[in-house]
Amino acid sequence: MKNNKIAIFDTTLRDGTQAEKISFSSDDKINIALRLDKLGVDYIEGGWPGSNPKDMEFFTKIKKKKLQNAKIVAFGSTKHAKNKVEDDKNVLALLDADTPVVSIFGKSWILHVEKALKISPEKNLELIKETIGYLKKFNKEVVFDAEHFFDGYKDDSKYAMETLKVAESSGADLVALCDTNGGTLTSELIKIIQEVKKEINIPLGIHAHNDSGLAVANSISAVENGCVQVQGTINGFGERSGNADLCSVIPNLQLKANYNCIPKENIKEITSLSRYLNEVANLSHPSNLPFTGHSAFAHKGGIHVSAVIKDPRSYEHITPESVGNKRRVLVSDLSGRSNINYKADEFNIDIEKHKDKIPEIVKMLKKMEHGGFQYEAAEGSLELMIKKINNEFDEYFNLKGFRILIEKNESGQTRSEATIRVSVGDKMEHTAAEGHGPINALDNALRKALLNFYPEINVIKLSDYKVRVLNAKDATASKVRVLIDSKSEENSWGTVGVSENIIEASWQALTESILFYLMKNESENKNKK
């Protein structure tokens, strides 16, 4: 590991919250800050205390928490041109936040100075000087964010550099070069940083936006060319196309370029933190996220799987476990023997006892996927299929019939009721139940019918229900695929059903969910004995 430390400056709680559909309560922000501190980031930018009460509430609450690694940062702008610095509400709010570090943004692009602020270039330099100088009187560590620096440099390099020099001479501890519009090519960025280093002696940081898809690449290149601080967000949250994703920046710098970003034992926490942030933001976690996505180390093609089994390095750039993720082998119509062998081992199925069944399993898998089934997110159904072909599965119940009644009265209220007949061994159960819609009514009736025989199914909870139209051109006659995610206290699993009838597709997925749980529960009880 190199001795040179790269400071990680997380701005998820400030810049990240400017993303569409993202809003955190002050308590959310506290919990996120504690997770970030646990990861080992150096700075946590908590918000702009001068802009809203919620951010100030965060700063009040976070002072009561004992952080182990991070410094809390309050964010704000240079003073207003018409105000005295000691009377400027924004500057006073920064002091009231009572943080050890303050991040101040100022204009470095002449376009913004003249068109947005509508002041003279000289006046803008004065704002930077007075604001930083005043904050330094209160012993604050000051980070100067040179907003739009790279655009400003390309437009008027002399003036852009002058803003950095004023920040430096006024006592700024670090200057962060901001690609605020996210439009700078990596080659341009490298050349500009190299020029800046010739004239600026205080440490440099990088703040990259992702409008050109280059935020991570630009952040890494900036570090390789002398920047010692990286500003970014978890999962790349941020306005427009987002900010540099620290979940990619950190492992690339630390695992590949041998920089010291966070404690090395904490790298494996990145995946759980990434998924936690999306959970708190009430967003689905993109499966294709580098390093942390569910598909980041997923292998589907038979040739790929065969190679990965022999040596994971053949198709993996790092070990999944190093970032807290895991390898997954998918099964589909692209699968071969290697996929089935891998999945059987994952399911603790002794496939060697049934080697002659592997061709039949592969053939059935391809047939089912051709019919619209998909097992990548329904491994419960896949395991059931393999067990059935291997003759290792006994039916726990048999359907004798069900009927669903949907009633709508004159006041517009609807009622759904399902009646069902199932047999367990030589016993018959006939029952009915209502529900919020026909699928819920069917689910309730099935559970009610089985509870006398299998009371353990009471712990099964349906956690997600997805319907996908497979051939939309057929309109209401289209075939649909239903994916159901279920969970118990300790496990979760997915099952799938396909039919032109959404109730039939749902029935398939519902029954397989219960069958899978019963099969697993029986196996666990046998192992305990």
As to burial, measured by CB atoms within 10 angstroms (0-12 exposed, 13-18 middle, 19+ buried), residue 503 is middle
Length of the chain: 529
**51 φ/ψ angles, rounded to the nearest 5 degrees:** -105, -30
Domains located in the chain, CATH noted? 7-262 (3.20.20.70), 398-528 (3.30.160.270)
Q: Tokens representing 328?
A: 């997954």
Instruction: Tell me which of 5-9, 72-76, 486-490, 510-514 is least confident.
Output: 486-490
Give me the pLDDT at residue 217, please. Answer: 98
What span, in angstroms and rounded, lies between the C-alpha atoms of 462 and 444?
11
Task: Judge whether 416 and 437 are in contact, CB under 8 Å.
Answer: yes
Spatial separation of the C-alpha atoms in residues 338 and 351, rounded to whole Å: 11
- What is the side-by-side order of every strand in the sheet holding 492-499? 461-469, 480-487, 492-499
Cβ proximity of 476 and 502 under 8 Å? no
- Which residue, among 296, 300, 277, has the nearest Cα to 287 in the 3D structure? 296
Query: Residue 3's pLDDT band (boundaries 50, 70, 90)?
Result: low
Instruction: Report the mean per-residue pLDDT for the chain.
Output: 89
Q: Is the pLDDT of residue 136 over 50?
A: yes
Closest CA relative to residue 24, chosen from 34, 35, 12, 9: 12
Please name which of 106, 110, 204, 105 lies closest in space to residue 159, comparing C-alpha atoms.
Answer: 110
Closest CA to 406 of 447, 449, 431, 440: 440
Distance (Å, whole) CA 489 – CA 500: 33
pLDDT at 408: 86
* pLDDT at site 305: 65
Q: Taking the complete model, does pTM exceed 0.85, yes or no? A: no
Look at residue 47 and give its three-state secondary structure.
strand
pLDDT of 476 strictly over 70:
no
Rounded Cα gap, residues 215 and 224, in angstroms:
14
Neighbours of 282 (CB within 10 A): 9
Residue 428 and residue 421 in contact, taking contact as beta carbons nearer than 8 Å: yes
For 112-121, 376-385, 419-428, which range has the lowest pLDDT when averaged over its residues? 376-385
Task: Give the SS3 label for residue 196.
Answer: helix
Exposure string of 11-37, with b = 16+ CB inside 10 Å and e = fewer, is: bbbbbbbebeebebebebbbebbbbbb
Instruction: Specify the amino acid at residue 283.
Output: L
Higher-confidence residue of 252 and 368: namely: 252
In the chain, what percentage of residues exceed pLDDT 70?
A: 93
Segment 319-334 shows an average pLDDT of 75
Tokens of 504: 């039939």
Q: 3-state class of 397 per DSSP?
A: coil
pLDDT the model gives residue 1: 42
Does 7 have pLDDT greater than 80? yes
Whether residue 106 is predicted with pLDDT greater than 80 in this model: the reply is yes
The answer, yes or no, to whether residue 336 has pLDDT greater than 70, is: no
Contact in structure between 286 and 293 (CB atoms under 8 Å): yes
Determine which of 170-184, 203-217, 390-404 has the lowest per-residue pLDDT on average.
390-404
N-term to C-term CA, the chain: 49
Interhelix angle 337-346/358-370, nearest 10 degrees: 100
* pLDDT for res 522: 84
Give the other-Cβ count within 10 Å of 504's Cβ. Answer: 13
Exposure of 156 by Cβ count < 10 A (0-12 exposed, 13-18 middle, 19+ buried)?
middle
Structure tokens at 114: 């003249």
pLDDT digits (tens, 9 = 90+) for 221-277: 999 999 999 999 999 999 999 999 999 999 999 999 999 999 999 999 999 899 889
Residue 148 confidence (pLDDT): 96
Q: Which residues contact 62 (CB under 8 A, 6 or more apart)?
A: 30, 33, 46, 72
In this predicted structure, what is the pLDDT of residue 464?
A: 85
Q: Helix or strand or coil: residue 225?
A: coil
Grade residue 463 by pLDDT with cuts at 50, 70 and 90. Answer: confident
What would the pLDDT profile of 281-300 be if each residue is shown by its tens digit? 878 788 899 999 987 887 77
Place of tokens 């081992």: 345
Give pLDDT, residue 411: 82
Would you place residue 473 in the very low, low, confident or very high pLDDT band (cuts 50, 70, 90)? low
**199-203, 290-294, 317-321, 342-346 — which one is most confidently predicted on average?**
199-203
Tell me, what's the pLDDT at 337? 65
**Local structure of residue 70 (DSSP, 8 states):** P
Residue identified by tokens 């240079």 is 78
Cα–Cα distance, 405 to 108 (Å, whole number): 68
**Phi (first) and psi of residue 407, to 5 degrees:** -125, 135
What six digits make up the tokens of 429?
């159960």
According to the model, what pLDDT value does residue 472 have?
A: 63
pLDDT at 12 over 80: yes
pLDDT greater than 90 at residue 492 = no
More confident residue, 106 or 305: 106
